Amino acid sequence: MPNEFNEELDDWYLENLVCPRDHEMLRLENGALTCKHGHHYPIISGIPIMLLDDVTATLHVMQGSIDASGQAEKANDDGLYLETLGVDADQRVAILESARKSDLPVDPVVNYLVSHTNGLMYKHLVGKLQNYPIPEIDLPPGEGKKLLDIGCSWGRWCMAAGRKGYRPVGIDPSLGAVLAARRVARKLGVEARFVVGDARFLPFKKNAFDTVYSYSVIQHFSLEDADKAIKEAGRVLASPGFCHIQLANAFGIRSLQHQCKRGFRKAEGFEVRYWRPKRMQRVFSECVGKTELKADCFFGLGLQPADSEFMPQWKKVILNTSELLKKISHPIHPLVLVADSIFVSGWKT
């Protein structure tokens, strides 16, 4: 693995980042970012760590990233920051062993995060990837527009956006995942920037992005935290701008099965929250603007047709059937209301 400790901060960050507490501009001082009120944010390997240490975390890896930011030059595990990845002890060992090999086809962190980011359909691929599962992003051509990917993890949607002509910026609370995303971007020749931060307290100036995108992230937040994140998405979105965020539908066939399995109790921790379509419409209309709902997939969450090559035959049947239903849902819009995964699109005018 390359040594990234001496990376310098890109000037773009000083022009576009703000303090996530008070939205004041930042200056570079003694190797860290500081606002005029004295709030201090460290930089590790050229990556700003913009997390707040006095708020309840949406994901337990946040604390690992905060702890790591206090001892940048003492990082262990070959600089992979495994304590920030949310993988178990056996997977940490496997990642380390893989990282010490040369000419790996896929970054070792990605190889063990794939089921975390892509869903249970990808569980059979953990540790076995030979290619990066980069999906086709459901957006029009980018034409150089600035895109924010909220909850980017190892960067698959940043790669997809970059390939479609966007200038992506990924944000995630996991330092290890963000560093992996930068390695992947460089390997695949995609120009992208990354920040360690919290979706509820975005460290970007107002109107900074033409497009805000998020997939399989906000559905894990409590409704209160999700509302905060969506409001923040509206703040950093330019006018005119487009917001495209995926959420789990409470009335999806597979979603109903999962809710039934857990006794329709209130979700805990990082469990999926299932949204009612009317609530999706209301929250996005209030925080962003004109809102539409669109089917993402059926029979589960996170199914991507571009990943068919990674799937056994029976899973390909599920993928193809999901895609067929998605196409039918365009002329027969009520079908969207039983999709398991829905894209909520908001237009800021």
* Residues 78-89 pLDDT 10s: 789 999 999 999
pLDDT at 76: 53
Contact between 340 and 248 under an 8 Å Cβ cutoff? The reply is: yes
Give the whole-angstrom CA distance, residue 193 versus residue 170: 6
pLDDT at 77: 61
Domain count, the chain: 1
Neighbouring residues of 327: CB distance < 8 A, sequence distance ≥ 6: none
Instruction: Identify the CA nearest to 14 among candidates 205, 144, 236.
Output: 205
Q: DSSP string covering 249-288, please? A: ETT-HHHHHHHHHTTTPPP-TTPPPEEPHHHHHHHHHHHT
The overall longest dimension of the chain from CA atoms, in Å, is: 58
What CATH number has the domain bearing residue 145? 3.40.50.150
Q: Decide: helix, strand or coil at residue 210.
A: strand
CB neighbourhood size of 253 (10 A):
13
Those residues of the chain that have pLDDT short of 50 are 2-5
Residue 295: left (phi > 0), alpha (psi -120 to 50), or beta?
A: beta
Q: DSSP string covering 151-182, please? A: T-TT-HHHHHHHHTT-EEEEEES-HHHHHHHH
pLDDT at 3: 47
Phi, psi of 239 (to 5 degrees): -125, 110
pLDDT at 6: 52
The predicted-structure confidence for 248-302, as pLDDT tens digits, reads as follows 999 999 999 999 999 999 999 989 999 999 999 999 999 999 999 999 999 999 9
Q: Show the domain range for 120.
A: 1-349
Give the whole-angstrom CA distance, residue 216 versus residue 340: 12
pLDDT at 72: 56
CB neighbourhood size of 289 (10 A):
18
- Show the tokens assigned to 160: 């997809």
- Show the tokens assigned to 135: 């999906």
pLDDT at 139: 97
Count CA atoms within 13 Å of residue 349 on its CB side: 5
Give the whole-angstrom CA distance, residue 180 versus residue 109: 6
Residue 99: left (phi > 0), alpha (psi -120 to 50), or beta?
A: alpha
